[in-house]
Structure 1
């Protein structure tokens, strides 16, 4: 296994985790409409990154593990939705939202670093396909980071001063 292979696998796993976490946050904070809708849209970007990374992995002979089973996602999604509705007017949901946004930001930042490493390795090895992939996907990851950062800046003063 070489460094590019390792980076492709790590990035695929990171995008999968980020997509899953974005969907979880969207469901958990369904009553926060902007969070719900934007997180859902951003999860689509990460799923598209996963698809494109899987294609790149196949072209480079990298075998990815099977995707995780999601047999109980429907039940869990319903529970998260009902919980978000039940606690909408308590201060704790705000703290939970800040924590979720922070975790999303850190996950997107980690992916951003891996996209940058992939781009640098692709450039050094003159792999135009991987460079095009990184150049296409990395800006969306940066956008995911900007959104979480903006939301934290906007919500933190309200939430933290109202406790």
Structure 2
């Protein structure tokens, strides 16, 4: 596997994971209308990114093969979710969910940056176009999760 293949696979997996996380957060926090509606919209962006990355992968003759590590990470996340859900403090759960969303978006942003560097180095205009279309949305996902944490943390953490 070369750097392009590794980066495309990592980002494809990361965007799938972020879409799932955003959908879960939107469902889990329906009472928080801004969280519910914005997370639903942002999940659609990540699903579109997954599609664009799959198309870019086909253009580069890459097969969409999930990694073995993805299954292990998914199982670990489920166990963490079970532990957190056992403590029904909705504010803390919301902060935890927003933190996880933010970290996932940051990781995806770094992969988008790596993909941009590869596209520029290889003068791949098609791949660069995908990055230019998708990376700003990932940056927006990061800013939204960070802003929500800043706005909600003081109220939630001081009311415990």
Cα displacement (A) at 1:153? 0.4
- The match for 1:76 is none
Q: 1:97 aligns with which of 94, 97, 101?
A: 94
- Cα distance in structure 1, aligned partners of 2:111 and 2:58: 19
- Aligned runs of 1:24-43 on 2, under 5 Å? 24-43=24-43
Extract unaligned runs of 5+ from structure 1: 69-83
- The match for 1:132 is 129
Cα displacement (A) at 1:65? 2.5
- Cα distance in structure 1, aligned partners of 2:108 and 2:149: 19
1:44 is the counterpart of 2:47: no
- Cα distance in structure 1, aligned partners of 2:53 and 2:10: 10
- The match for 2:5 is 5
Q: 2:140 aligns with which of 131, 138, 143?
A: 143
- The match for 2:76 is none
RMSD: 1.7
TM normalised by structure 2 equals 0.86
Cα displacement (A) at 1:142? 0.1
Q: 1:66-105: per-residue Cα shift (whole Å, max 9, x none)?
A: 7x9xxxxxxxxxxxxxxx9xx9xx7x10000000000000
- Tell me, what secondary structure is at the counterpart of 1:65? coil
Extract unaligned runs of 5+ from structure 2: 71-84
Cα displacement (A) at 1:5? 1.0
